[in-house]
Amino acid sequence: MTHTPHRRSRRTLVLVAGVAALGLPLVAVPAEAAGTAAATPAPRTGFEGSGGARWTGEQEETAFLAAVDRGSDRVSVRTIGTTRQGRPLRLATVGAPHAGTTVLLVCSQHGDEPSGREACLTTVRDLAYARDPETRRFLSRTTVLVVPSANPDGREADTRGNADGVDVNRDHIALQTAEGRAMAALIRDRRPEVIYDLHEYGGTSPYYDKDLLALWPRNPNADARVHDEAHTLSESYVRPSAGAAGFGSGIYGIWTDPLTGKPIKQVAGDGQERILRNTAGVKHSVGLLVETRVEALTDAERDDTARNQRRRVNTQLAALKGAFAYVDERRGRLGAATAAARLSGFADRGPVLLGGADNDPAEPAETIQDPPCGYRLDRAQYAEFGDELALHGITVRREGDGVLVPLRQSQRALVPLLLDGRATYRLTTGQPVEVC
């Protein structure tokens, strides 16, 4: 399937390092192009300084973010958590705080998938130092939250999981990791309209070998309006933006016939609520997973590691250009969709689905057709899991020596996913209550 690039808005951002430099041998530095004074040159990442031959080191990231924070009054960097090995989980906030639309970039949850981290670092800098009116206007109406290293212990060890071997991107329900807990608190407190999750993947030629793969929330509990906006983000903006930069794209998890382009089978990308793109949908944010291919695609890349790594980062940057264009052009529709979804739970109507996906209908056994009024937790259960409920932003009501967790709240569908005895990734089994 091919997609025609969406009409470019006059307000589309000029991200100097990530956009103007696409296809060049090295991601550029924005100092001159953005009009930054020569006395305060924009900092460079270790990746840029090496010509893409190596990834940015931990100390280099620390120094880079500190320099950007000092050099721009539109950026602030703070720590939102600490890993088991003592590394900070940093959040960079770009733009006017709490202004208009909030976008969250989550970078390199898997420590051995570094291209998203590099793209996020340079994006923070480019937004911070840009002087063009389009970017200034964008940031006056947008808060961009960036977690450049969502799994710094894994990044340091070059492992998929964190220091305990846990896949952080399978921990957005149980919240057993410091990384997952920090992300849940951030989502709860800032309620981003968009959650954009940057990854990499291993290809299977010739069926699964695009430069970029993308996927929206497939969990069937995602509000239809939010789901449709996420689909639009992927198919009308992110993938076309990558295509316009010369990168091939596809849908994550779907093998396609190389001759016809038709899908052959699905190998990944289901509706598990514990995966961030799905958690985002259940929590009423427009979520999107993006993945760049790790393997060398040409003989030139096979002969030159730096060329391969630059292609991976530039693909991420091209996709991000599309994501920001989406926010700029559809912020009204985006805001209306997420606001309506956040209110819908208070109506307390409709089934809750414990399985299935948007392309795989839930079985009858996976459907709570007539959900209870709420779930009761005893004192011991609440003592053990009360923190997790609070991190998810779930409202509870004290009753006797325990609590009642009502379904009538913004995140209505999340309550059974956390507490129903039939839910695969539940925190604990609550007692269904029919009358609240």
pLDDT digits (tens, 9 = 90+) for 375-408: 999 999 999 999 999 999 999 999 999 999 999 9
Predicted confidence band of residue 175 (pLDDT cuts 50, 70, 90): very high
CA 10-16-20 angle, to 5 degrees, is: 80
Per residue in 4-46, pLDDT (tens digit) is: 344 444 334 444 334 333 332 233 334 333 333 334 689 999 9
What was the pLDDT predicted at 436? 87
Predicted confidence band of residue 99 (pLDDT cuts 50, 70, 90): confident
The answer, yes or no, to whether residue 305 has pLDDT greater than 80, is yes
What was the pLDDT predicted at 16? 39
Half-sphere CA count of 350, side-chain side, radius 13 A: 13
The answer, yes or no, to whether residue 112 has pLDDT greater than 90, is yes
Per residue in 328-373, pLDDT (tens digit) is: 999 999 999 999 999 999 999 999 999 999 999 999 999 999 999 9
The answer, yes or no, to whether residue 266 has pLDDT greater than 80, is yes
What was the pLDDT predicted at 376? 98
The answer, yes or no, to whether residue 1 has pLDDT greater than 70, is no
**Phi, psi (degrees; rounded to nearest 5) at 30:** -85, 5
Task: Specify the amino acid at residue 25.
Answer: P
Q: Among 39-43, 164-168, 198-202, name the one with the lowest average pLDDT.
A: 39-43
Task: Specify the amino acid at residue 200.
Answer: E
pLDDT, mean over the chain: 92
Cα 53 off chain centre by:
26
The answer, yes or no, to whether residue 274 has pLDDT greater than 80, is yes
Which one is predicted more confidently, 12 or 428? 428
Q: Quick one: which of 90, 75, 89, 81 has its CA closest to 124? A: 75
What was the pLDDT predicted at 38? 38
Per residue in 46-95, pLDDT (tens digit) is: 999 999 999 999 999 999 999 999 999 999 999 999 999 999 999 999 99
The answer, yes or no, to whether residue 110 has pLDDT greater than 80, is yes
Per residue in 226-249, pLDDT (tens digit) is: 999 999 999 999 999 999 999 999
What was the pLDDT predicted at 5? 43
Distance CA 251, CA 239 (A): 9
What was the pLDDT predicted at 41? 84
